[in-house]
Amino acid sequence: MIHIEQKEMVKAFRNHKNLLEAPGNDSCINSRMMVLFYAVECGLKALYMQNSKLKRTDQTDYNGESIEAVGHNLNRLLDKMKMKVQVPKSMTKDNIQFEHDDLHTAWRYGKKLDRQKEQKCIEVLKKILNQLKVRL
């Protein structure tokens, strides 16, 4: 397992954010949305580590939990940060519902999603990203 330092997490957030904000090929929308997910994940983890005075991802917080244990569960991070937003569940085109923490997998492999549910997830992720830009 690779342990990431807080300053590396901030750098990853900024790199992903910058890639999203650069003019790009909109035909690669799944890849761009996957990067959006990772930007939000890195930003939330970096901010949580900063607030909890954790230098590396393997260190534990006041509850004895490391940031590694959170995985891709953005809603758990949002709860920990007391942010009043949650990423909703999504659905595939063939009507299979799944949790938000699998969005990056769906986008990575190009799974066709219910457009309305996907759009709601994207809107929420962008809202979180904008909050993180201010706080990091």
This prediction's pTM: 0.93
Q: Give which of 47, 50, 21, 40 is closest to 100, Cα–Cα.
A: 40
Given this model, what pLDDT does residue 27 score?
65
**What domain range is 78 assigned to?**
6-83+123-135
One-character DSSP codes across 20-44: HHS---GGGHHHHHHHHHHHHHHHH
Residue 75 within any structural domain of the chain? yes
Residue 22 within any structural domain of the chain? yes
Given this model, what pLDDT does residue 6 score?
96
Given this model, what pLDDT does residue 74 score?
97
Given this model, what pLDDT does residue 42 score?
97
For every one of its 136 residues, what pLDDT tens digit does the chain have, with 9 covering 90 and above? Answer: 789 999 999 999 999 999 888 886 666 789 999 999 999 999 999 999 999 999 999 999 988 999 999 999 999 999 999 999 999 999 999 999 999 999 999 999 999 999 999 999 999 999 999 999 999 9
What does the alpha-carbon distance between residue 43 and residue 74 come to, in Å, rounded to a whole number? Answer: 10
Tally of domains in the chain: 1
Given this model, what pLDDT does residue 114 score?
96
Residue 33 within any structural domain of the chain? yes
Residue 101 within any structural domain of the chain? no
Given this model, what pLDDT does residue 5 score?
95
Residue 111 within any structural domain of the chain? no
